[in-house]
Amino acid sequence: MKRTEKLAILVMALGLISYGGQAGKTIKPIRLHPENGHYFLWRGKPTVLITSGEHYGAVLNRTFDYRTYLKTLTSHGFNLTRTFSGAYCEPVGAFKIKNNTLAPAKGYLICPWARSNTPGYANGGNKFDLKKWDRAYFKRLRDFVAEASKRNVVVELVLFCPFYEDGMWKLSPMNTANNVNGIGNMKRTEVYTLRDKKLLAVQAALAYKIVKELKEFDNVYYEICNEPYFGGVTLEWQAYIAKTITKAEANFKAKHLIAQNIANKSRKITKPNPLVSIFNFHYAKPPTAVKENYGLNKVIGDDETGFAGSEPKAYRLEGWDFIIAGGAVYNNLDYSFTVGSEDGTASINAPGGGGPKFRKQLEILKDFINSFDFIRMKPDNSIIKAGIPNKATARALVQPGQSYAIYINGGNQSELVLALSRGAYKAEWVNTKTGKVDKKEEFRHPGGNRTLLSPKYTDDIALRIKHVSKSSR
């Protein structure tokens, strides 16, 4: 028996968790679509996850009004939010983010572990006891997921996050200075490895506990660790946490998906963990990550954007490029959601964008992709034969003879030459900023190349082509 497997048994024996399934209703959590694993099946419908969400502190920051926040997401028809477990938080001012939800004010961090009777936590209040759970935290976590469920919002629950700087490690309950258990006496770069058995047992117990608490929800999947390519996080440790989640759900009738954050921008995955169904990237522009890993037949996500100013343009272009390239998750990091402005109306003072104007534009992408039977489509830029403006790019998601979703990033007018199958079609040029159809035409096509001239546009435009049956004409 491997040392890590023995450790899992030890965790259970110590009573840090309660292992095994409990009687309850059968649920069908969000899963990979059985006909096309690049997308999801959720609540009986093919699903792409698109959102512009807060900076991950909705649960761990006890002053954040998540009901108002989730209501705002619903008002745009968004169906995803990303949140951190509370094992990691940030100091005020980190990454030059003003009013950062992931940086609770002094005394307002709520996390899975209960407070002890010993004063001395670095950001106010008593130290933590890593062998006791905070009931109030799990009540808040479950209520957050329940409120999201009511609004048809999926929760990407991120279990862990590396400590980018010593100041962040100094705030973690896993740091020996912040707990009464004598656990976590190490450098921040050693936290997410298999070196320390006691700390590893705490981490495994946390994964087990969260999985148990959220067992009956169909709107959850688990990301092992945010940006594990920083801060000394090892692949062996990530594999251990993935295995821990799988073991915790061994007796569950329905299993939840596991996500792994692979890289910023892109990287070709050569040895995918078979327990992982969602491979996430950050700042994935251009969307090379989708093309490089499309052969895995798994979901590819872009679940964090930023560092491109506060204007909507960069994030709109990134989202359209990624989804039309064949991605299934797009989460813009929206800094207009703050404590006191959970409706997403705060002025942005951070290295990213968001806000009401951007969210209205992102709705257009959401509506556009959902206007297709995208399960039947796959990326195929080869149908674009000519006519891409100078220094522009064009992408196509295609079901030959039926549907063509095309996105042009750049230029101000396009005379596209497209290889289309024989048939009758309706073509609509969609304004990505207003959602209006700026030009449309219907035509019969004998097969082969067809030239379509766009209207004038600024920055980008989308083209929707659908086969038209005789009965609908």
pLDDT digits (tens, 9 = 90+) for 437-451: 999 999 999 999 999
* 371 φ, ψ (degrees, to nearest 5): -80, -5
Task: Name the pLDDT band for 470 (thresholds 50, 70, 90).
Answer: low
Task: Name the pLDDT band for 471 (thresholds 50, 70, 90).
Answer: low
What does each C-alpha distance from 267 to 156, 237, 402 come to in angstroms? 21, 20, 32
Give the position of tokens 């396009």: 414
- Measured distance CA(52)–CA(55) in Å, rounded: 10
Average pLDDT, integer, range 46-71: 98
CATH number at residue 343: 3.20.20.80
Task: Name the pLDDT band for 15 (thresholds 50, 70, 90).
Answer: very low
Q: Is the pLDDT assigned to residue 427 strictly greater than 60? A: yes
What does each C-alpha distance from 367 to 70, 154, 246, 314, 409 come to in angstroms? 19, 17, 34, 19, 18
Q: Is the pLDDT assigned to residue 319 strictly greater than 50? A: yes
Domain co-membership, 306 together with 413:
no
The count of domains in the chain is 2
Domain co-membership, 345 together with 389:
no
Pairs from 183-187 (Cβ < 8 Å, separation ≥ 24): 183/130, 187/232
Domain co-membership, 359 together with 396:
no
Q: Which residue has the higher pLDDT, 282 or 10?
A: 282
Domain co-membership, 436 together with 457:
yes
Task: Name the pLDDT band for 26 (thresholds 50, 70, 90).
Answer: confident
Domain co-membership, 364 together with 389:
no
Average pLDDT, integer, range 110-122: 98
CATH number at residue 439: 2.60.40
Instruction: Check residue 25 and give its pLDDT.
Output: 58
Q: Is the pLDDT assigned to residue 355 strictly greater than 60? A: yes
Domain co-membership, 102 together with 231:
yes
As a whole number of Å, the end-to-end CA separation of the chain is 67
Domain co-membership, 19 together with 58:
yes
Q: Is the pLDDT assigned to residue 6 strictly greater than 60? A: no
Contact predicate 263/218, CB 8 Å: no
Select from 379, 387, 454, 468 the least CA-distant residue to 422.
Answer: 468
H or E stretch covering 319: helix 312-324
Domain co-membership, 188 together with 62:
yes
From 342, 374, 406, the end of a domain falls on 374
Domain co-membership, 60 together with 112:
yes
Instruction: Check residue 18 and give its pLDDT.
Output: 35
Mean pLDDT estimate for the chain: 94
* 422 φ, ψ (degrees, to nearest 5): -65, 140
Q: In terms of residue numbers, what domain contains 398?
A: 380-472
Domain co-membership, 450 together with 339:
no
Domain co-membership, 106 together with 193:
yes
Q: Which residue has the higher pLDDT, 353 or 24?
A: 353
Domain co-membership, 369 together with 394:
no
Residue 171 CB partners (closer than 8 Å, separation 6+): 89, 90, 91, 109, 122, 123, 178
Instruction: Check residue 469 and give its pLDDT.
Output: 84
From 351, 374, 397, the end of a domain falls on 374
What does each C-alpha distance from 308 to 60, 149, 228 come to in angstroms? 27, 32, 22
Q: Is the pLDDT assigned to residue 453 strictly greater than 90? A: yes
From 355, 374, 393, the end of a domain falls on 374
- pTM, entire model: 0.94
